[in-house]
Amino acid sequence: ARVFQRVSGRSVSSPGRRMLYLSVLVAFAACNAPPVPLDDIFIEKTFVPDQCVRAVKVGDYVRYHYNGIFPDGKKFDSSYDRGSTYNVFVGRKQLIEGMDKALVGMCVNERRLVKIPPHLAYGKQGYGDIIPPDSILHFDVLLLDVWNPEDGVQINTYHTPATCSRKVEVSDYVRYHYNGTLLDGTLFDSSHTRMRTYDTYVGIGWLIAGMDQGLLGMCVGERRIITMPPSLGYGENGDGSDIPGQASLVFDVVLLDLHNPRDGIAVTNQNVPASCTRKSVSGDFVRYHYNGSLLDGTFFDSSYSRNRTYDTYVGQGYVIAGMDEGLIGVCVGERRTITIPPHLAYGEEGTGSKIPGSAVLVFDVHIIDFHNPSDSTDITVIYKPAGCDKQTKKGDFVKYHYNASLMDGTSIDSTHNYGKTYNIVLGANQVVPGMEDGLMEMCVGEKRHLVIPPHLGYGERGVTDEVPGSAVLVFDIELVDMEEGLPEGYMFIWNQDVSPDLFEEMDKDNNQVVEPSEFTDYIMQQVNDGKGRLAPGFDPYRIIDNMFSNQDRNGDGKITVAEFKLKADEAAAHDEL
């Protein structure tokens, strides 16, 4: 009553007040009564993970940490203090009954506060000196792992590449990156931290069984989560370091490379030009552009970035074996993708910084041109006039138009751009040897298509900013005019009989010597009168100066009767009279 009066501030005379008084007494008794004994376990979920892929079922094997405490807060046991999880099957009476029930339904990384009554713990007997009889036990439990003896490898593919021409099979060699974690997310290993892929054969026992199974069927570029029970991982003992015994393992894997030791090169994505008159053979010299990448698309090299083709002999061991093979049978202008396994490329060692060991290489190749050192100029007559009774020969002075290009069609030069012909003397080394060949035995008005190999063109050096080194040249030519040259070895000939008084006719001042001016005036007069002819295509005064020098045998600047001779009088051939 005093309590009620303190609470209400009123007396207790009426029946209604007596009822309120009795209610307060009940409440007061409840506040001061001893705790009601637990009939069953009590579970408080103190942390629940966002995702729960799997919950514990009877028969599962679990690994968990716990702190065991009495209701007064006194600790009686802890897995943390022992430095190892508690590992056990659930529902097989390997635990106290209350813990067997409390673990069911838990998720990895879930945390529970479990209160277990004595009859579901150690009962009236207690447990030695550790747990007194009839003790209520509290356990703070953190679940780290769960698996079942019937579990196999679980695969979750979360990225599939758009194209997959090949999948991992038994005995394939693969390169992949991975992050390895325990089921609770604890990282135990990563190839990324070592900045190096893991490289191995698949399906022949080089890997733990779960990984051997988990990699099968993967495509290059695919990403998957591979989860395996300890029986397919490191088993009861773990790895002795970062992986505890009986631990499930989770590998986040991305496949970067795949080949088989039996592989040869693969040629795909071929784009062959409509006109292909010739295909490359062993011993040819090829000029090509390329982009080089790894199988996962990682770029490592390009001829385009250097703005220069890669030039090499094929089939002769000058390039890696796979490229040597892949460049055989190509056409000029062809594009192809050549995939080369490492044993035909840079092998187990790679090249260091750009190409890792055991890497498959992919080359996208564009063939610019090729030739053989034994090639001659290829001449195709496009048009020949009906009446062709006079053909070019060595020494003739010819005038022609041309369009010049590389084999890939890149224009080099054209006389049409200048509005005038190109004029040369055949056989005088005024053009490349291939053009000399192409202009021989040609009629005025004739048109030809010439393909000139570099050893008959501009060679290995080419022409700076115009013709690349070792380039095959293409000329479309048309002979516009020609002037017949002199016989070989002659720079001047007579068109009629030579005067018996030749020296006297030259010696205008009759001083018994012929001066340079007298000699020049006389020869030019003969040419103008049609009595003689100088070699066409050359500077006439330079020819005459040369003729004078040949006659001036002592080099004193004048010709005497004793020095003066006709060519017919010479024992050896000279460019003189």
Q: How distant, in Å, are the alpha carbons of 423, 513, 560 from that of 555?
A: 34, 13, 11
The string of DSSP codes covering 415-470 is GGGTTS-EEEETTSS-S-HHHHHHHTT--TT-EEEEEE-GGGTTTTT-BTTTB-TT
- 412 part of the active site: no
- Give the Cβ contact number of residue 205 at 10 Å: 9
| Catalytic option among 76, 86, 89, 422 | 76
Per-residue pLDDT tens for 498-509? Answer: 888 888 889 889
Give yes or no for a contact between 388 and 441, defined as CB atoms under 8 angstroms apart. Answer: no
Residue 72 known to be catalytic: no
- What pLDDT score does 552 carry? 87
Catalytic annotation, pick one of 122, 173, 402, 475 = 122
Q: Name the catalytic one among 41, 96, 452, 477.
A: 96
Residues of the chain with confidence (pLDDT) below 70? 1-37, 567-577
Q: What is the pLDDT of residues 10-54, one digit of tens each?
A: 343 444 443 334 343 333 333 444 454 678 999 999 999 999 989
Residue pair 87/143 in contact (Cβ under 8 Å)? The answer is no
From the candidates 43, 70, 77, 408, which is the catalytic residue?
Answer: 77
Domains and CATH numbers, the chain: 42-147 (3.10.50.40), 154-259 (3.10.50.40), 266-370 (3.10.50.40), 378-483 (3.10.50.40), 492-571 (1.10.238.10)
Task: Please classify residue 350 by burial: count the beta carbons closer than 10 Å to its beta carbon, then call 0-12 exposed, 13-18 middle and 19+ buried.
Answer: middle
Type and span of the H or E element at 542? helix 540-551
Report how far residue 252's alpha carbon sits from residue 258's, in angstroms, rounded to the nearest whole number. Answer: 18
Is residue 318 part of the annotated active site? The answer reads: no
Contact 140, 67 (CB under 8 A): yes
Asked if 66 is an active-site residue, the reply is yes
> 4, 61, 64, 139: which one is catalytic?
139
Look up residue 487 and give its DSSP letter. P
Check 4, 64, 66, 400 and give the catalytic one. Answer: 66
Active site residue 96: yes
122 is catalytic: yes
pLDDT score for 568? 60
